[in-house]
């Protein structure tokens, strides 16, 4: 039995296969990342967003339209990140 190299290249892997690139993505100063707002398409750094919150979590709002771009909540089960309001998040190259 021969294995088709093209088919093997298209075979899905589990999420652990992307551990290296994910470590690269999540190990940086996130305030310098550029986020695109889903609501108004404004592009700005996370550090420019208006943030509301405290013990319950944080809500990041677009500086342009005040739409919610990110939500972060810490619970005993872990940290939850909701990015529904972000069309994209571009991290700086190292």
Is 42 within a domain? yes
Q: Could you read off the pLDDT of 62-86 as tens digits, one per residue? A: 999 999 999 999 888 988 999 999 9
Is 85 within a domain? yes
Contacts of 9 (CB under 8 A, 6+ apart): none
Q: Could you read off the pLDDT of 20-63 as tens digits, one per residue? A: 777 776 777 888 899 999 999 999 999 999 999 977 799 999 99
Is 37 within a domain? yes
Cα–Cα distance measured from residue 81 to residue 48, given in angstroms and rounded to the nearest whole number: 18
Is 83 within a domain? yes
Residue 29's SS3 state is coil
**What's the pTM?**
0.75
Dihedral angle, C-alpha 92, 45, 42, 73, nearest 10 °: 110
> Cα dihedral sign for 82, 19, 87, 30?
positive
Cα–Cα distance measured from residue 92 to residue 94, given in angstroms and rounded to the nearest whole number: 6
Q: What is the domain extent for residue 25?
A: 12-90
Is 4 within a domain? no
Is 1 within a domain? no
């Amino acid at each position: 039995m021969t294995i088709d190299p093209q088919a093997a290249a298209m075979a899905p892997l589990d999420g652990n296969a992307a551990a290296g690139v994910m470590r690269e993505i999540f190990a940086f100063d996130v305030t310098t990342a550029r986020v695109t707002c889903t609501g108004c398409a404004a592009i700005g750094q996370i550090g420019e967003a208006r943030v509301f919150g405290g013990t319950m979590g944080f809500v990041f709002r677009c500086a342009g339209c005040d739409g919610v771009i990110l939500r972060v909540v810490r619970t005993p089960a872990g940290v939850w990140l909701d990015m529904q309001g972000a069309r994209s998040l571009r991290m700086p190259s190292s």
